[in-house]
Amino acid sequence: MKRKIFFILLILSSITLVCVSCASAPKVSNEAKAKADQARKQALDFDSNTYFPSEWEEAENQYNAANDNASYNAVADTYNAIFKKDIPLYAQAREDEIIAARDELIATGFTDVFPQYLKKADDLALAAQDKYEAGDYYGAKDTASAALNEYKTLLSGAKTFVTRQEIINRGFIKYDPDNILKADEISQNAIDAYEAGNKEKAIADAEEAQLRYNIILSNGWTAYSSDRKETASTERELALQDKANIASRETFRKGDALFEEAKGLYAEEKYSEAALVFVDAEANYAIARKETDEKRVKAEETMRIAGEKIGESNETAIEAEKIIEGGSR
């Protein structure tokens, strides 16, 4: 009986201790915890942990140790202080990304043809800046992201535009006219989709058009390289016929060195590189022929002048002889 009473008293004592412990535990309001969580989320959303890693680690330790309203309010202030230092850096990084994408887009020449597309992207970038200056950081972030996406979407089309221009400028249309018409049709579909606001389809169509243009360009370089090889070979034969390998030896030898280099590149199927070197070889052979022709003309002129001088000497001798003969009479 005494043992039973002892255990009852022990249980009651434990309950009392637990109740005392509960009474002494600090109370945390939902508002204080939410304030800290919101400050932490905002700092994370703007990469504060990346820009200030050591300070972020200290804030995290403070957050994990927080157990009352005062400590949660304090950690919220810590996160906000990091965020305040971070936001200008974050904004500058987004601005740098936008400017880089914009500069790359302008460099393609695409916006010279479609200036209205550039204006649309620029308007978004300016709107993002306005929101940042107004303190609407989340609005600025979303708008800056939309602006960057706009520039990158346009870049997708611009790269297609540049490839097409290269095909046209190099005269490669003649090598595959049917396929370029199909690529042009798909490229126009991309423009139509973009103007209709369907960026996903615009990008998909631009990528398909780009693929076709790349094939045309590749085949064009192959055919063009073959043409340039034949032309360089013909120019070399003409140079040999003109004896340019003798009269303009150094230039001819340079042409030969380039010709051999180009043939090596051609064998390796590096057609674009080979074509350009074949052009250089052809140019050197042509220069060697021109130098030879100039030397020939100069030599002929020298011979003509020498002949005239010999003729003049002969006439002088004849006249002298006449005078001498006349005097002896």
Residue-wise pLDDT tens digits, 82-129: 999 999 999 999 999 999 999 999 999 999 999 999 999 999 999 999
287 CB neighbour count, 10 Å cutoff: 17
> What's the pLDDT band for 160 if we cut at 50, 70, 90?
very high
* Between 177 and 319, residue with greater pLDDT: 177
**Cα 222 to Cα 123: distance, rounded to the nearest angstrom:** 43
CA angle 259, 264, 266 (to 5 degrees): 90
Which contacts (CB < 8 Å, 24+ apart) does range 19-24 have?
A: none
The dihedral built from the CA positions of residue 241, 246, 251 and 253, taken in this order, carries a sign that is positive
Least confident of 32-36, 53-57, 60-64, 174-178: 174-178
User: Average pLDDT, stretch 230-234?
Assistant: 96
Q: How confident is the model at residue 5 (pLDDT cuts 50, 70, 90)?
A: very low
Cβ-contact 247, 291 below 8 angstroms: yes
What is the pTM assigned to this prediction? 0.69
Are residues 106 and 91 in contact, defined by beta-carbon separation less than 8 angstroms? no
CA distance linking residue 208 with residue 163, whole number of Å: 13
- Kindly tell me if the per-residue pLDDT of 63 is higher than 80: yes
26-35, 57-66, 297-306, 315-324: which is most confident = 57-66
- Is the CB of residue 213 less than 8 Å from the CB of residue 175? no
What is the rounded average pLDDT of the residues 281-296? 93
Q: If you average pLDDT over residues 54-71, what whole number do you get?
A: 95
The stretch 226-248 carries a mean pLDDT of 94
Contact between 36 and 73 under an 8 Å Cβ cutoff? The reply is yes
- Kindly provide the b/e burial profile for residues 48-59, where b requires at least 16 CB atoms within 10 angstroms of the residue's own CB: bbebbeebbeeb
pLDDT score of 136 more than 50: yes
What is residue 249's three-state secondary structure?
A: helix
Closest CA to 120 of 197, 231, 18: 197
Over range 238-246, report the average pLDDT.
92
* CB neighbour burial string for 108-129, b if at least 16 within 10 angstroms, e if fewer: bebbeebeebbeebbebbebbb
- Please state, in angstroms and as integers, the Cα–Cα distance from residue 121 to each residue in 54, 153, 154, 208, 231, following that order: 37, 10, 9, 23, 47
